[in-house]
Chain A
């Protein structure tokens, strides 16, 4: 974990040393997606639930902040409720039901509109919000990433972390020694959803705009792909997010949809990658 922390710290400090606005803009995007991927990775690796619905807490948070910051808490609670409801069908079905839900949500997000001063805003165009600026965004997102990464490391070593892992490995055995498996599940979902919510807030504060694209399949698959690219360590989802963002930006002039090629390659190789990284241990 210390090695992982050092890698992340180096990744975060590098743009500050280079002091190039372009590099910082790419890095900010990578950091925001890293927070999202880390939230996904926590739920997958720690709690054992493979989600394809993290775009929802991410996107809803951005929308809530853009519409009215007071809506952030209901947005978080709504996402948590959605995760809980989807989990009732069991771990195996969760991956499919979550994906279908994410796609349905993406479709309906095009119809999120508000009537403002007699006009209609939202829809395909989305909503605008005041960006806090490039450097401020970078510092905020980086701080959040470090905070969550450290928190996850602490959670893993705590009694709560052990209970989450015990439920992941064998729910029946965990329940037989008094662990309230459902409560533990909700707590682990809440941690993951909260992290994704913060990622959504960072996204909006950086871009200053949110549109239905935040719920797109690309965002749905991003944490999954990012976590598979770079191994099965806690730094993997972060390194993976950097790879996707940096490669996409590097080839954006020649091949604008480079990230889709990465997605396709990773998805095709995913069973093999899982074996390589030992991610199929549970």
Chain B
């Protein structure tokens, strides 16, 4: 189980996250929904250890709050960050090779094959997102944190990524923060966490969140 327990973040005197508690089991999908600025991405950063926070994070009942991101990664947590963040001056192949075998990435995204020697900084938004996702996926995480995974992707690829998330949930826990493809992700998710103004408005089984989700986002 991956559990964030009373996670709190304060920046310049402003509370970004207020005692957020949520968790998911392996082979579950958790959707984190909320309006812009509600702290969704910040929560993922705290779970990955990329941001200073108060509160505690547990992985399979082991407290990992004090661990560095690299140590959390070794324990099986990977974050695919938002805003298409990759190493711009490395080629697609080099970017992916840092995480694992490029051939594995090609099995997930064959489109990356012809782009292997192209610098990531010269890719389109969708191509770059494939690199971000490929880097995260081939690291074989126990828990995968996907921050806006549909950013820059065209419709066909979005459908593939939705299916991929579903297939991934048979092997690992997947946390998804997204504004796109919300219906699909919500329908396949086991848990939903709705954040508003840094506070948890709802956390629990997705079935129980349906009305709230429809009123707020769909």
Contact = CB atoms under 8 A, between A and B. Distances in A.
Contact of A176 (B50, B74, B94, B97): B50
A59 B97 CA distance: 39
Contacts of B68: 180
Contacts of A168: 87, 89
Listed residue (A162, A177, A178, A282) with the most chain B CB atoms within 10 angstroms of its CB: A177
Contacts of B97: 159, 162
Given A162-B94, A163-B98, A166-B98, A176 B87 contact: no
A176 B80 contact: yes
B73 A178 contact: yes
A157 to B, nearest CB: 10
A175 interface: yes
A190 to B, nearest CB: 18
B79 interface: yes
B129 interface: no
Given A176-B69, A179-B70, A165 B85 contact: no
B90 A175 contact: no
B85 A173 contact: yes
A172 B80 CA distance: 11
Contacts, number: 76
Given A176-B50, A180-B70, A170 B98 contact: no
Nearest to B86: A173
A170 B87 contact: yes
B122 to A, nearest CB: 11
Interface string B60-85: 00000000111011100011110001
Contacts of A163: 98
Interface string B94-126: 110111000000000000000000000100000
B88 interface: yes
B88 A170 contact: yes
A176 B89 contact: no
A134 B121 CA distance: 47
A166 B81 contact: no
A177 B90 contact: no
Contact of A169 (B50, B79, B80, B90): B90
Contacts of A174: 87, 98
B88 A176 contact: no
Contacts of A183: 70
A222 B181 CA distance: 55
Contacts of A175: 48, 50, 69-70
A282 B139 contact: no
Contacts of B89: 165, 168-169, 281-282
Interface in B111-154: 121, 132, 135-136, 139
Contact of A172 (B50, B73, B98): B50
A172 B85 contact: yes
A177 B139 CA distance: 8
Interface in B39-66: 48, 50
A178 B139 contact: yes
A177 B50 CA distance: 11
A173 B90 CA distance: 13
Nearest to A282: B89
Interface of A: 159, 162-163, 165-166, 168-170, 172-180, 183, 281-282
8 contacts: A162-B94, A165-B90, A169-B87, A170-B87, A174-B87, A177-B98, A183-B70, A281-B89
